[in-house]
Homo-oligomer: A and B are copies of this chain.
Amino acid sequence: MMYREEIEIETKEGISITDITKNVEEIVKKSGIKEGLCNLFIPATTAGLITNEFDFMLFEDIKRFFSNLVSEKKIYSHPENAFSHLRALFTKSDLLIPIKDGKLCLGTWQRILLMEFDIVPRKRKIIVSIFHDSKI
């Protein structure tokens, strides 16, 4: 069986971080699937997914790190938001997380985070596909 749903998130301009774990957990619950795998996919080129701890101090470190790694002040060939595209390269367009006993197998501090790098607020879509096999 496969179950699919979409999450819509309105982001602030980059660099901003949104915890979408609860949104995914709700879909997993709704699917009724107890053992399986959950794929997240973001159809975007200036935003991406990561898993890490939810901690505002760590978020400050992450934002500062990406700002330094890919400077906004350099001259780029691609107009306007080249640095947004480059920063997104260091995140994932897809994640695949196991489901056990009806729950995502995340670590104690591990959360699913959407990172927005674009220079304007965006409405982002994340496609959630859950699949399982009756014989697991």
Contact = CB atoms under 8 A, between A and B. Distances in A.
B94 A77 contact: no
Contacts of A43: 105-108, 110
A4 to B, nearest CB: 7
Contacts of A51: 45, 93
Contacts of A1: 133, 135-136
Contact of A61 (B41, B82, B127): B82
A98 to B, nearest CB: 5
19 contacts: A2-B35, A2-B36, A2-B132, A2-B135, A4-B98, A39-B96, A41-B98, A41-B105, A43-B110, A44-B107, A45-B107, A50-B89, A52-B89, A55-B78, A58-B82, A61-B77, A94-B96, A131-B131, A131-B133
